[in-house]
Amino acid sequence: MKKAVLCVVGTRPEAIKMAPVILALKHEPWVDVRVLATAQHRHLLDQVLAFFGITPDVDLNIMRPNQTLAELTARLLLALDAVLLQEKPDVVLVQGDTTTVMAVALACFYRGIPVGHIEAGLRTWDMQNPFPEEANRVITSIFARWHFAPTEGSRHNLLKEGISAKDIMVTGNTVIDALLATSARELELGLNLDPSKRLVLVTTHRRENFGEPLHDICRALQYLAHNNPEVQFLFPVHPNPNIRYTVQQWLSAVPNFVLCDPLDYAPFVAAMKRAYLILTDSGGVQEEAPALGKPVLVLRDETERPEAVEQGVVKLVGPHFEAIVQAVQLLLNDEVAYGDMARGGSPYGDGHAAERIVKILRDHFA
Ligand code: UD1
Ligand code: UDP
């Protein structure tokens, strides 16, 4: 009898990081792989699924413009419960810390279905940063049966919360599986950038940066672009209206700033490879860029990914004008400081995380 493994994806990063697991499970004769898209993100999710050639078996089409956390959670729970009843999975896999992940963990708990949590154990120990992701992770860990921790540090965090050591497996992060497979391909950035100029790549989307922090980030970027006309800035802007409006207000008229829609995954990997340095509040980009040898300045005061900071290839600058300007200017002007941060080497994985996760499930079920 095959085991029904339901893989759930809601947003862009979940799809990128779940794709290697879905693709690996498809080769397992004992598995009936089912893919459930909550489509908490509509456009960003579709881009990624198309790139990896994954067609969801069930699509909840949950996203609404400018959705609130409460309405999103409420709609997810009801819709998920109906799918669990219909699909009757033997195990459900989730990835990361979005509202989709938290709602799946709770819905599965109500129905007594075991959950495997990929990228388990990331913590800042501050419920407000990142908000609501820290809470989503803690809640998911309470209900998960298998905790696939990307690093020793994340394993340790779970032990501190009283999770049994036998249920935690250090696998590496599947983000590196996806990145290595993608960056080995022929990649086209597809934008008309000036090849003679150094490129600074920027992304931001975090809820805790909405409002004043995002204004400060944009003010710093505008200042840096004016003072460094020989440098080009590329900012694929997240579709969240809270981000879009502010970014356009500050940066659309700056001549050496290229604002564009979110890039598909392959062109975004090409952009990371082409970049001289990267400014971001993204979790995934913090993991990917060091693997490509690119310095990252994180537009947050805290991170749940301390390993690359400790390694010296990622630096926290917060959403603060002075700190952003100083750090970017140093990396643009000082080759030694730049070389120190461009050493690369990823503490997050070796490209075989999905294989390890599948083996753990195989040893249990097959
Ligand atoms: C969500 C996750 C966050 C994750 C991020 C990855 C939650 C609460 N937040 O943040 O943890 O890091 O995704 O990008 O789970 N929108 C579109 N099209 C899209 C996607 C979003 O128009 O394809 C707009 C919609 O107006 C939507 C809004 O963005 O309502 C916010 O989306 P939401 O998923 O609630 O939050 P994100 O900020 O994207
Ligand atoms: N990404 C992408 N296109 C973009 C920006 C990011 O494909 O225009 C990818 C990036 O390579 C990474 C993931 O999206 O794998 C990160 O997603 P995001 O920053 O939205 O979420 P987070 O990782 O912070 O949860």
Alpha-carbon span 237 to 104, nearest angstrom = 28
Alpha-carbon span 154 to 17, nearest angstrom = 17
Beta strands at 314-316 and 115-118: parallel, antiparallel or unpaired: unpaired
Alpha-carbon span 117 to 225, nearest angstrom = 41
Amino acid 180: pLDDT: 96
* Amino acid identity for residue 109 in this structure: F
Tokens coding 18: 């779940």
Q: To which residue do tokens 């969240």 refer?
A: 240
Alpha-carbon span 44 to 32, nearest angstrom = 26
Q: Find out whether the beta carbon of 61 lies less than 6 Å from any atom of ligand 1.
A: no
Amino acid 346: pLDDT: 87
3-state secondary structure 82-145: HHHHHHCCCEEEEECCCHHHHHHHHHHHHHCCCEEEECCCCCCCCCCCCCCHHHHHHHHHHHCC
Distance from the alpha carbon of residue 112 to the mean position of ligand 2, in angstroms: 32
With residues binned 3-state (H G I as helix, E B as strand, rest as coil), the percentages for the chain, rounded to 5, are: 50, 15, 35
Q: Find out whether the beta carbon of 68 lies less than 6 Å from any atom of ligand 1.
A: no
Amino acid 345: pLDDT: 85
Rg (CA), the chain: 20
Amino acid 251: pLDDT: 98
46 an active-site residue?
A: no
185 three-class SS:
coil
What count of other Cβ atoms lies within 10 Å of the Cβ of residue 197?
Answer: 15
Amino acid 52: pLDDT: 97
Distance from the alpha carbon of residue 33 to the mean position of ligand 1, in angstroms: 26
pLDDT along the chain (366 residues), means of 10: 97 98 98 98 97 98 96 98 98 98 98 98 97 98 98 98 98 98 91 94 95 97 98 97 96 97 97 97 97 97 97 97 98 97 93 98 93
- Ligand 1 pocket: which of 98, 100, 137 to mutate (most atoms within 8 A of CB): 98
- DSSP symbol at 42: S
Q: Find out whether the beta carbon of 13 lies less than 6 Å from any atom of ligand 1.
A: yes
Tell me which ligand sits closest to the C-alpha of residue 48: 2
75 an active-site residue?
A: no
Residue 1's Cβ-count burial label (10 Å; 0-12, 13-18, 19+) is: exposed
207 an active-site residue?
A: yes
Report which protein residue has its CA nearest ligand 1's atom 14: 12
Collect all residues with Cβ–Cβ distance below 8 Å to 335 and sequence separation of at least 6: none
Tokens coding 3: 């085991």
Tell me which ligand sits closest to the C-alpha of residue 240: 1
**Mind listing the domains of the chain with CATH numbers?**
3-173+349-365 (3.40.50.2000), 198-341 (3.40.50.2000)
Alpha-carbon span 215 to 288, nearest angstrom = 26
Select which of 14, 28, 133, 307 is catalytic: 133
Q: Per the omega criterion (within 30 degrees of 0), is the bond before 295 cis?
A: no
Alpha-carbon span 85 to 302, nearest angstrom = 39
What count of other Cβ atoms lies within 10 Å of the Cβ of residue 85?
Answer: 9
Its sign, for the CA torsion 240, 242, 243, 249, is: positive
Phi-psi region of 30 (alpha: psi -120 to 50; beta: other; left: phi over 0): alpha
Closest ligand 2 atom, residue 284 Cα:
23
Provide the β-strand partners of residue 235.
259
Q: To which residue do tokens 């805290």 refer?
A: 302
Q: Find out whether the beta carbon of 237 lies less than 6 Å from any atom of ligand 1.
A: no
